[in-house]
Amino acid sequence: MITDPLEIERIAKGIDISLEQLAAMIDHTKLKPYEVRDSIRKLCEEARKYSFAAVYVHPIWVPFAKQQLKDTNVKVGTVIGFPLGSTLPKIKEFEAKTVLEEGADELDMVINIGALREGNYQLVEEDIKGIVEAAKEHGAMVKVILEAGYLTDEQVIKACKIAKKAGADFVKTATGFGPMGATIHHVKIMRETVGDEMGVKASGGIRNFKDALRMIAAGANRIGTSTGVDIIESYREAKQHGIKFEIEKIPCKLCPVTKISSKAVPKEVYTYYKSKCLGCKYQDIYNKFYHGK
């Protein structure tokens, strides 16, 4: 069963957090391959101005970002095995140790997606453990990126359990480069699986304050986005002008099924999600909106 989007919408509508509280949940991110020094400098300036939780940059930019953010509370995060996750475990561990020595405060690592899908759970756990152990020596945080769009719900749940067992601090939805990105459905089952002992980071396609509030309502306590400034400013405007959170009239728009492509994911994953439409109580809305029936 897919998470009922309207249940999450009702919770999101009732959320009333301050601008400062929302900003403190945002990982302000620039992870495109073409970033240059000026764009990283601007990222850090914005993070300082809005007091975001962290900036996230490619490993090459960690020392520069660290220097830009000295004497602030903004953390410097980077990515490991990004964005595919298929790097050898010893290479991921070496990458982690290197960026930690360069000053990284947080690491977002991509799991070995193929190993998880074929049931090689020992490899997945050892892959995560290597990063966690390296991070502990530096007092750094580890978030495990599941890239949930490639996985069934059962595989997402299994990945969360492995990450928790391996000692990670957070589980995270997606890299932003894979299919689906963040969905309220995946956030909800991730939170239900890890409980309150771990964090849940929603990342991938979160563009405005409504998206952010939806993710928070589903259970996220960190938001990864390249549009952190837009999120805060749109939230500021909504608060100033009394703009209400309008519940999405087409719940299917918030469902991962409508984001999936047969060309982007394994065939069995595509079939898995599409089959969920058959018993959905919003099937009539789906057919009318998407097929004109």
Angle between helix 209-218 and helix 228-241 axes, rounded to 10 deg: 100
Nearest to 21 by CA among 247, 236, 246: 236
In sequence order, the β-bridge partners of residue 223 are 26, 202
In sequence order, the β-bridge partners of residue 222 are 201
The backbone torsions φ and ψ at residue 171, rounded to the nearest 5 degrees and listed phi first, read -115, 150
The catalytic residue positions are 108, 172, 201
Q: How far apart are CA 285 and CA 219, in angstroms?
A: 26
Amino acid 76 reads: V
What DSSP assignment string belongs to 188-231? HHHHHHHTTSSEEEEESS--SHHHHHHHHHHT-SEEEES-HHHH
Q: Tokens 């979160």 label which residue?
A: 206
- Euclidean distance between the first and final Cα of the chain, in Å? 23
Q: How far apart are CA 156 and CA 80, in angstroms?
A: 19
Q: Which distant-in-sequence residues (6+ apart) come within 8 Å of 249 by Cβ?
A: none
